[in-house]
Every structure is written in structure tokens, then in C-alpha cells.
Amino acid sequence: MPLSRLSVPADLWKASRRFQSVAPLLKPKRDAIRALINQIEKEKGAAKLPFVDTHGRVHSYLRISLTEKCNLRCLYCMPEEGVQLTPPSNLLTSDEIVRLVELFASHGIDKIRLTGGEPTIRRDIVEIVERIRNIDGIVDIGLTSNGIVLAKKLRQLKEAGLTKVNISLDTLVDHKFTLMTRRNGFAKVMKSIDLAEALFPTVKINTVVMRNINDDEVNDFVNLTKNRVSLISNYSCVVWLANKINAKMSPHFQRLDVRFIEYMPFGGNHFSTKKFIDFKALLAIINQKYNGLVKRLQDAPHATTKAFKIAGFKGQFGFITSMSDHFCGTCNRLRITADGNLKVCLHGNAEVSMRDLLRRHASSDEISDVIQKAVTRKKKQHADYRDGKSPTYAQSAYDSHWRITKCDLYSSVITSSLSRLLPFVSNISTIRLCSKESSNICDEISVVASHISNGFSHVSKDGSAKQVDISHKPVSFREAVAEGKIKLTQELVHQIKNNTSRKGDVLNIARIASVMGAKLTASLIPLCHNITISYVHTEFRLDENECVLFIRTTARTTANTGIEMEALTACTIAALTVYDMCKAVTQEMVISDIRLISKSGGKTEYKAVSNF
């Protein structure tokens, strides 16, 4: 209600009006006082401001990946052959991890979780836990493990300061465990769970549920949340182990909490919507058995889990609904990858290298500033939920064939992408968005910003385009690898395999075209430097079963700038040449997944998983 409509004495009303008239005059003094207070607090070593995004989310939880390696090959996580690993020299050292935790702790981070890969593979994990425990402000150190070798290190980890343990287990059937993880080890995981229960008040089990694979075990997992004393056959052995390491038995001994995780797309897991089952369907399965006994619990602040409990059971169960009902609104998490990149969102592709900052001896204030800028760019919710609307089914985030056809979504995606440029635009400009598919989504968007950031090296301070000066960079050997693929028909596969195309040798001509394309890169890409190319070679792999031609281009140079644009251009031209050579037979071809696989020799190196 407006102040003018309140019943207040006339004198009070006049006084308030006088204050409003002089308030603007007091603002400079008030700001100066605040600045002085901040300076005094800084000199006294007071805690720094927390990392807060533009949506008001205060970040207090940091997840750190200690390694990319894993001793399992779970179906939903990675391909059977594993993933291409980062060179050891590019991974964070224990000293670098500790320094980052110290810095984050100074900004209010008080909860750390160590993940992987499989974190227990790392030899210095006990040392890392102990050093983190001694950092002021850290009150909680958790670990997520698959349990294969956890039992061997759990005693030392507990003594070092570990406070919480989550163990991943997707089946309670031994032979199914082998099928789902492509490895043996079910007994080792159960041993780790037994020992963890003896050492910690609560142990959480993380279970990824997939339709027609392990959804028939949901109630078996719920049954684990009973008082486990009556369920463990080797209970006396567990007590002996606990006494052996002088572990104090908790009054909450034998409590297991189970968290059902919705199946999500990750690179290399061949995500299929047929395997996806949302939490409502899982809850219906549980209600069918425990009708009337399922109780909804109050979720903790920033919880990722919708918590439930069976009446009379000691533990509880819950659902992590990343796909069907996201929890982005309360997200307080930041992530550091094993190679030192900061991710503000699990589902986002944006990363900022903390490792590079540490290794060029950046100050804590510099690193903090970079972190805050990254947090400021954190979106309201992750990319699978555009414009507040979730997909009607679980769609793979890596599906290159996903096309948005609704006009409102198409427009919102473009607008969202442009909004990322706001911090980098120095003056007012008008951008007109037009679509051939629909005239209804042509809008004029005014982009206004007060300053320009150094985030774009090809943009000068006045907003104009400029070429990067590389004259000061050292000359070195550089290599880049790019890959792509083209979907073919069965007839085209036959012609390419047998070299019966009327136009000639498809693959050899495409290979020559890729070399020509690499040479013309500087003419095609604005602001790209013209460099001496030492080597360009394109390879092809024909998958007859999938009717896919995979393309891989390697480019090399000895120069003072990278050659990745040449590799990408050559790979693209090779794919386009194949299309041109085959279009007389059919236009039913799809070129996709043109991407950089690796680059080396420059200031930063990059490696991704190859599909070739």
C-alpha cells in the first residue's frame, strides 16, 4: 500500500517527506563509510564476500574431481573402452587443490566433496583430505566412491577428517553388477558399505535407475533403509573392524539412505529415452508395495533430493530429479574438474581454467575475481530447461540431431544466447533477428552495456573488430585434430566402399579438398592469421552397419599461433565434398559433429573423446 494511504500523524508524514528529499545527498557519504568499513575488514583479514550469482544464489559447496580415471565402465557413464585421459602434467597437484580450497573457503565455501572418476584411485587422497580438514572454515568433507577399493583406505580417510561417504551401487544382484559395470567387484562394494556403516552415522547409496535394467530392484533398495543390524550377516565382523580401528560406534549405526538418480545423458553413454524412467514412475512402484506407509519428508536447504521415508524404517530414500524436475533454483554448487577447470553448472559447457591461473602465479584476488565473473554468468537453470519449459521427454544434451521447431523456443534460445554478450558490448546496438521459418519471431533486441570486457580478444575497447597481435608469442610446433561425420544411405555406403561412384573416387577427392580448404582458412575466417601449414591429412572410417562416414583431420605447423581453425575447416570441407560427390544419388545425407578433438603446442592444450 502506498505510504500516502496509510493513517499516520501529519508531523510524521512531513518528516518522512523531508527525509526522502535529502536522502540522495547522503548517499555519497554512506558509500564512503561503507568503503572505509570494507577496507578495515580487509586489513583485519575478515572473510571475503561469498560468491553470489545474479539470481541471488550464495555458493557454499565445492565439488572437486581428483582424477578422470575409473576402475569401472558403467553403462550410463562412459564407453567400454574408457575415455581419453588428460596428460598427468595437466592435472591439479595436491598443493594446487589445497590452495584452491583455501581460496574458496575464504569466500564462505564450507562443504567439500571429492569425486572422480574414482577418487580413491588417487594415491595422495588421504593427504588431500587431511590438508583440507586443517583449512579454516571447512566443516564438511564428503567422498563419492564406487566402493571397489574404498574399504582399503576408509580407515585412513576417516582418521584424516572425512565426514561423509556416498557409495554408488546400481544393483543388488552380483551377475547384473558385472553386466552394468563391465567389471567384477560386487562383493568388494558390499564390504565397503558394511565398513562405512561402522564408521559413519549415515551412509548414502547412489543408484542410477534405468528402465528394464534395474527398475525391478527399486523396492529392494528401499528395503535397505530398514535397521540394517538384522540384515547384515557379517555384523560381528563389522563391529570387530570398528573396534580394531578404535572407531566410536554411533547411535545411528546401520542407517543407510538410498538416493535414486534419474538416468541422464553424458558423453559416450549412448543415451536412450527408452531407458529413462522419471521419479514419479519410481514412486508409484514404491507406493504399490508400501501403500500408506510412504511419508514425504521436509527437504533440507539446497537439497538435490526429494526425500521420503517408509514408516518404521531407520533410513530414508529420495530422488535426484535432474531430468524431470530440476532443482536449479537452490543450486549452491561449484565444480572443479581434475584438470583444474571451474564449472558453475554440471550441464553447462562453459569452463574457466583455475590451473592456468595458479601456474602463472596469479594472486588470490585475481583468481577470486575470475571465479566471481564466472559465477555471475551462471544461468538461472541448466540448458535442458529453456524458457522455463522442460522437454516432454528426456532428450540427450549431446544429440546433434535435436532440432527446436517451436517458434517461441527458437526465439528464446537466440535471445538467451545473445544475452551472454551483454558484459562485452560497449555501446548501444540493435540486432534484428529474422527466421525464414517464421516471420513471427523477428524481433529487435537492444543490447545495452556500460563497459567492455577483455573476454573477447577480437574486440577492441570501442567495440570494433580487431586481429589479435601474435608477434610477441614464441614460435613452436603445434598440432590440431578435428573430427566430423556424415550420415549416408545404404546405397552410398556401397558405392563409397566399392569406389563405384560415377563422379570418381569420393574419399580421395575429399582428402585433396581438405588440404585445399586448410590453405584457404585465413581467407574464409575473418581475423584468422595466415600461417605456414606443415602438414594436413584427412582419414576416413566407414561404418557400414550405421551407414556413417567418420572423418578425422590432423593439421600441423611451426608457428606462433594455433592451427585448430585449419583442422576444423579441412574436416568441414572434406564432409562437404563427400556430400557434393554423392548428391546426385540422394540428398538424404546429414553432416554433423564437426568438432575439435585436440590441440597442442600452445599456451593451453585441449583433448576430447574421439569417436573415430
Cα–Cα distance for residue pair 138/130, rounded to 1 Å: 11
- Of the chain, the end-to-end C-alpha distance in Å amounts to 66
In one-letter notation, the amino acid at residue 444 is E
Cα–Cα distance for residue pair 46/48, rounded to 1 Å: 6
Cα–Cα distance for residue pair 338/336, rounded to 1 Å: 7
Contact 525, 547 (CB under 8 A): no
Cα dist. 263→280, 368, 468 in Å? 13, 34, 44
Contact 209, 218 (CB under 8 A): yes
Cα 543 to the center of its chain, rounded Å? 30
Q: Other CB atoms closer than 10 Å to residue 435's CB: what's the count?
A: 13
Cα–Cα distance for residue pair 232/218, rounded to 1 Å: 19
Burial of 432 (0-12, 13-18, 19+ CB in 10 A): exposed
Cα dist. 446→66, 338, 396, 431 in Å? 44, 40, 33, 7
DSSP per-residue string spanning 258-327 = EEEEE----TTS---GGG---HHHHHHHHHHHSTTTEEEPPPPTT--EEEEEETT-SS-EEEE-TTTS--
Cα angle 524, 506, 575; round to 5: 35
- 110, 299, 325, 580: the active-site residue: 580
Three-state secondary-structure class, residue 549: strand
Strand partners, 477: 558
Cα dist. 36→49, 426, 480 in Å? 15, 31, 51
Cα angle 122, 123, 129; round to 5: 80
- Examine the residue annotation and report whether 580 is marked as an active-site residue of this protein: yes
Peptide bond into 340 cis (omega under 30): no
Cα dist. 453→414, 462, 583 in Å? 21, 11, 45
Cα–Cα distance for residue pair 575/552, rounded to 1 Å: 10
Which positions are catalytic?
580
